[in-house]
Structure 1
Amino acid sequence: MKHTLQSDGISAMINADGAELCSLKNSEGRELLWQAGPAWPRRAPILFPIVGRLKNDQLRDRGKAFPMTQHGFARDREFTWRERGAKSCTLVLTDDSATRLHFPYAFRLAVSYEVEGAHLDVGFEITNTGDVTLPASLGAHPAFNWPLLPGLAKEAYSIHFSREEPEPIRRLKDGMLREKGEPTPVQGKILALSEQLFWDDAVILDRPASRSIRYAADRGPAINMEWEGFQELGIWSKPPSAAFLCIEPWRGFASPAHFDGEFLDKPGIMKLAPAETKILKCRIGIG
């Protein structure tokens, strides 16, 4: 089941399957979100309870191994509607017998969407409903059309960071985080975009100074994103010729290539005490 939110400057459609944003249009009705396709069959999946991959696609907990595929299971589960209104909605996923085959922890994940003006606010509320520590990661993975304005060259676009980003970036090998970083392609505050940038998979900023970006060319629509609670940022496309750009605030990342330990000890995860709740936020604005 899908639900549409509408304001004066934006409309958004949300699907109960995966609590996924599946349409984002400006006031002129122009679709800005990638509409799936052969190059990549998703639009804006939610990554939970992991971001990226675990070694051998296995989650290790207290001596047992559980199968856990890339980016976790939330994107493939149907969420329950808690609230549906003209400008906001909330969906919820809780643990059950199916999730516990992969993830032996109790949790509640609530995802909220709200439109106001030309902004879409997305909130993620994670609660530990069990009696042991809940380790988890979470990521947003929206794919925007690239180019946003048909006919413009992909190379006309860049990402403008709110702060300079001099730190090395990280890359993946076989889905695992490489041990060493490499020089950043960000020049000051600007990342020039091209398909060549993604021949070696995603660009990962594991220590971004910025908490907001602007994705734009010198004309046509632009996307502004800002986030709270997320600590890493992934930027990804799928060459050759995939017409989307993913801008992904993360709280967590793929396992380092050398790590094959207990999930509770995995670098980058959140740890929630029993009854604790963590809230992460993302705002998408249309310029």
Structure 2
Amino acid sequence: MIEAAKIWNEPNNKSHWDPNLDPEWDLFANMTRLAGQAIAAENGGLTRVLGGMSPIDPHFLKRLEARGVMDHVDVVAVHGFPLDWNLWQIDEWPAKVDEIAAVTDKPVWITEVGVSSFGSEEVQAWGVTKTAELLVGKVPTIHWYSLYDLPKTWEATTRHKEAEGSSYYRHFHMGLLREDGSPKPSLEAYAPHAADMGLCQWFHFEDHRLDEAVAWMKRLGVRKLRTGLSWADSFRPDADRWFDRQMEALADFDVTVTFCFTPEHRGIEPHHTSPPQVAEEFAEFCASMVRRYAPATAGRAAFAAE
């Protein structure tokens, strides 16, 4: 059910990891080593992916390598949004991949790439086509972010929220589908590339879009999907029931599942970006999710027999 397990999301982005609490990423490195070991102990054949860098930074990767992280992951992931948040042009994508490939012998995946329709839906559609032209065949795995726009009543996962100005509101317009489920021009642009350029779609706890998303992805011919299972959500009532429902619905796709988000009561500070008080607890969460949804033994995931 899971083809890869991704350890955290954008660890060099303050919206996902607090550098004030871990300025040298020593705590992150220790947590990642432990999680990588725990995943391998449950299923040695499962690909372990380092949380996607954003910004793309070979110096950050070398920092983690010096702390032993690379011995416990199989793939390096990067994220890029050159038309929205990055300080480089879209044509630089191949060079950005080469920068990372030059400092590691691990495969490089692009687990988030996207273009917001905040300014123009036509520009987003052009961005889909241009991204496919630049990256399909350049890396083995690409996930376009995302299928759906973020509902305006929800919050985007950023550190400073509305204080970021237009940068914040771009988060709400990354989908190929509008919030109401109607297609944008970018959906038509994406369709010819669906088999080669997968999707990244985060599903919130008890997300009402799940079944419709699955129907759209099957209609488009999507094969690869990246999503997440939240450590913080695991403490909600009936968390396993929701996780089971989500993973069962996604069973027909090659899923890269991201394990991330610190529960407030288990962080050094009460925030999802905080390093955990006890890194082994995150590692055990990763192990428990692999046991449940990607067991080493053949056959259906363990939850299906419960």
* Fold in common (TM above 0.5): no
Higher strand share: 1
TM-score, with structure 1 as normaliser: 0.29
TM-score, with structure 2 as normaliser: 0.27
Higher helix share: 2
